[in-house]
Amino acid sequence: MATMTDPPSEGFRISQLIYDTRYRSITIQVVAFILIMAGLVWLVDNTIHNLSVLGKDFNFGFLGQRSGYDINQRLVEYSNNSTHGRAALVGILNTLLVAVLGCITATVLGVIAGVLRLSNNWVISKLMTVYVEGFRNIPLLLWIIVIFAVMTEGTPQPRDFREGGTASMIAFESVAVSNRGIYIPNIVFTRSLGGNETAEVDGATQVVPAAAPVDWFLVLALIVGGVFVARFIERKATATQEATGVRPPGTFWKKLGVIVLPTLILFVILGATLDVPRIGGFNFTGGIQLRNSLIALWFALSLYTGAFIAEIVRGGILAVSKGQTEAAFALGLRPSRTMNLVILPQAMRVIIPPLISQYLNLTKNSSLAIAVGYMDVRSTLGGITINQTGRELEGMLLLGLFYLVTSLVISGALNLYNNSVKLKER
Amino acid sequence: MKRSVFLGTLAAAGLVAGVASAQTLADVQARGELNCGTSTGLAGFSFPDANGEWQGFDVAICRAVAAAVLGDATAVSFTPLTTQTRFTALASGEVDVLARNTTWTFSRDVDLQFEFTGVNYYDGQGFMASRELGVSSALELDGATVCIQTGTTTELNLADYFASNNMSYEPVPIETNAEAQQQYLAGACDVYTTDASGLAATRATFEDPSAHVVLPEIISKEPLGPLVRHGDSQWGDVVRWTLNAMIAAEELGITSANVTDMASAAGDNPEINRLLGTEGELGAMLGLENDWAVNVISQVGNYGEVFERFIGESTPIGLARGLNAQWTDGGLLYSPPFR
């Protein structure tokens, strides 16, 4: 083409926008952009027009008004005198609670099921196939309702736990499985840092055990500190082993000790006691109530997402070349160590990216809470608040924004983790 | 990207908002069918019968409006709505009228932009508990677990009642009456609270209604009535005067049995004549045929007939007229004159 003479320099013609390949793609993009923007403008204009026809304005002032309704499961202080914004916060925390619990159990279940599905044991691998196919191919909503129905219909009512009733508590009279949920003991402190109230019982003044956030914060701090010290001990032991060939005896117990002992001492100082649930009046009092709605939602989400994660894990393991296993066996590693030290770390690189989308699915699927009356953000902000204030558009926008931000944060965090474990090419 | 997602959400919401027309009457006449929102099932008030036809006290309002507007009480398309979806469905134009035991409150009338067209049942919120529980008053319910339908005035009344009596409770939020019934019978809640009429209706469907007791306290006023969208007064008038026609018909002694007779020629009572269209042009003023009220009464019946047929003392639900008797019998039903 070098022999071609320069094209005659003509001026720009309009037809070039369509027929000249240099400009055509730009033309198409500009036209497409204008059409999309026009569509958006029409939609926004339509919304504003319809809102004004309905006589509604667009404002978020309702978030500051008194809500007037009660929520059963609250992770922060809330009453019917709190605002709608506060109710939304309670819902958000409930959503995050079930999402975090669900992600953890789904991962554990999924990894176990995925590994076992590759087992050479015929019964185990077929059992896992049944689990995976059963949960993957039946809608999540059905599982939530099935588990909830089983828990409601199949467990005794609280009043059956009374004297002479048909039901009794398990685990040394400390745990009650009822159709309103599972009541478990709670740890409370008689010398709480948040202060204790006193009460008159049979003429004597008694301290009412309580638990302030600061108490638990201290416990958490000690445990985290203990873990750091334990890692230091571990490193020192490894260094000694590498230098002398002998691992200092009792390393494991030392590590356990630095984590557990300070916590135990703190418990004694604070005067920790167990607050065991007791049947009284209509319900159990004391202890922690894990409501049926939470358990049903948590279980169903974990089992359902776990089945998908199992397949991802299985795929990840199969993606690691069989030569790796054979090489590990040749070095004399036992099958369990081969899996933990050789196969899984390599499989993780394949597993993480699809795992992210499973976590996102689980978080978004938690909005099915409506089926069992779990008070998540869709039920508070997106349900009762919208219904009581008539702010559908604002409420749904906020709800969408919340799920969007949550999903972006989860995928952002896991992408960071993925970057740290993925194959580094140098 | 976030911005585009935001705009997308806005756009989707905008589409859902739809077109709320101000000419509902013309729309319904052109469509030949009335879109009516009812509850998802409450014995006596709205329930599908053995043939799958919707029946009930609230459903009768829809049928009456259809009879008045279209001359055919069966030309209704029913949309079962939960407490949470009902207002959105009405505001978006999915239904023309909502007859779904809905309480008339200030904020719903003014802030949510609806128009209540009257009261078809004067109710109040009550509690139902198992007889086994041994509770005789709502004031003994401290610490109880209470089943409630979410998105209702019931929810707010309950919070107010327990707070003002210094009692605590555990709410169990539930979506529909059927679910509430199942939870209550399984013992997942001690008490079920809703409008007293709803409690009676729900109890009537139990295997052993006598094992459950409705507590004497009525903790709120719940005037239940049909509602339409704000801003279309003509359509509001049609629904309002259809209900009034049913109430006035009972007062004037017009029943589905004698209405054809009475409408065949002008009688002695001028108000009956005006109502049945043998005198004056009331129907035309509403934009309807002049025999609109005749259609309502002959096809659906007067208020008293509808009450007796679906929820009266001869039915399993067995509600007494009480506040819902005619004003001449000491009740609150009082239709403005047809003049």
Per residue in A302-312, pLDDT (tens digit) is: 999 999 999 99
The CATH number of domain B125-220 is 2.170.16.10: no
A177's enclosing H/E stretch is: strand A176-178
Quick one: average pLDDT of A17-36? 89
What stretches of chain B adopt beta strand conformation (E)?
A: 34-39, 47-48, 54-55, 76-81, 97-98, 114-116, 121-123, 125-130, 144-149, 169-174, 191-195, 212-214, 222-224, 227-229
Report whether pLDDT(B99) > 70. Answer: yes
B88 touches A: beta carbon within 8 Å: yes
CA distances from A33 to A144, A318, B13 (A): 44, 45, 22
The number of domains in chain A is 1
- The interface pTM score, or ipTM, of the predicted complex is 0.73
Closest partner residue to B20 (CB to CB) among A47, A53, A400 is A53
Which range, A245-254, A346-355, B7-16, is most confident?
Answer: A346-355
Mind listing the pLDDT tens digit for each residue in B277-296?
A: 888 889 999 999 999 999 99
Domain assignment present for residue A38? The answer is yes
Domain B24-122+224-329 classification at class level = alpha beta
Report whether pLDDT(B121) > 90. Answer: yes
CA distance linking residue B174 with residue B145, whole number of Å: 13
pLDDT confidence of A10, banded at 50, 70, 90? low
- Cβ atoms within 10 A of the Cβ of B82, count? 19
Report whether pLDDT(A256) > 90. Answer: no
Higher pLDDT, B243 or B92: B243
Domain assignment present for residue A241? The answer is no
> What integer pLDDT is reported at residue B17 of this predicted model?
43
What is the span of the domain harbouring residue A49? 18-53
Q: How far is A170 from chain B (nearest CA, A)?
A: 20
In terms of CA atoms, which chain B residue is nearest residue A180? B188
Quick one: average pLDDT of B131-153? 87
Angle at A11 between CA A7 and CA A16, to 5 degrees: 85
Cross-chain Cβ contact A54/B91 below 8 Å: yes
- Most B CBs within 10 A among A33, A54, A81, A408, hence the mutation to make, goes to A54
Q: Hunting for tokens 């077929």 — which residue is that?
A: A126
Angle at B204 between CA B202 and CA B208, to 5 degrees: 110
**Fold match, B24-122+224-329 / B125-220:** yes
> What integer pLDDT is reported at residue B247 of this predicted model?
95
CA dihedral A336, A341, A347, A348 (to 10 degrees): 120
Mind listing the pLDDT tens digit for each residue in A91-139?
A: 999 999 999 999 999 999 999 999 999 888 999 999 999 999 999 999 9
Domain assignment present for residue A43? The answer is yes
> What integer pLDDT is reported at residue A2 of this predicted model?
54
CA distance linking residue B330 with residue B325, whole number of Å: 7
> What integer pLDDT is reported at residue A253 of this predicted model?
87
> What integer pLDDT is reported at residue A16 of this predicted model?
81
Domain assignment present for residue A352? The answer is no
Instruction: Return the domain boundaries, chain B.
Output: 24-122+224-329, 125-220
Domain assignment present for residue A22? The answer is yes
Report whether pLDDT(A11) > 50. Answer: yes
Domain assignment present for residue A42? The answer is yes
Domain assignment present for residue A44? The answer is yes
pTM over 0.80: no
> What integer pLDDT is reported at residue A25 of this predicted model?
87
Q: How far is A157 from chain B (nearest CA, A)?
A: 6
In terms of CA atoms, which chain A residue is nearest residue B91? A54
> What integer pLDDT is reported at residue B12 of this predicted model?
47
Report whether pLDDT(B14) > 70. Answer: no
Report whether pLDDT(A5) > 90. Answer: no
Closest partner residue to B156 (CB to CB) among A68, A72, A371 is A68
> What integer pLDDT is reported at residue A269 of this predicted model?
85
Report whether pLDDT(A169) > 80. Answer: no
> What integer pLDDT is reported at residue A327 of this predicted model?
94
> Among A1-15, A167-181, A317-331, A353-367, where is mean pLDDT lowest?
A1-15
- Return mean pLDDT, chain A: 87
B315 touches A: beta carbon within 8 Å: no
CA distance linking residue B274 with residue B276, whole number of Å: 6
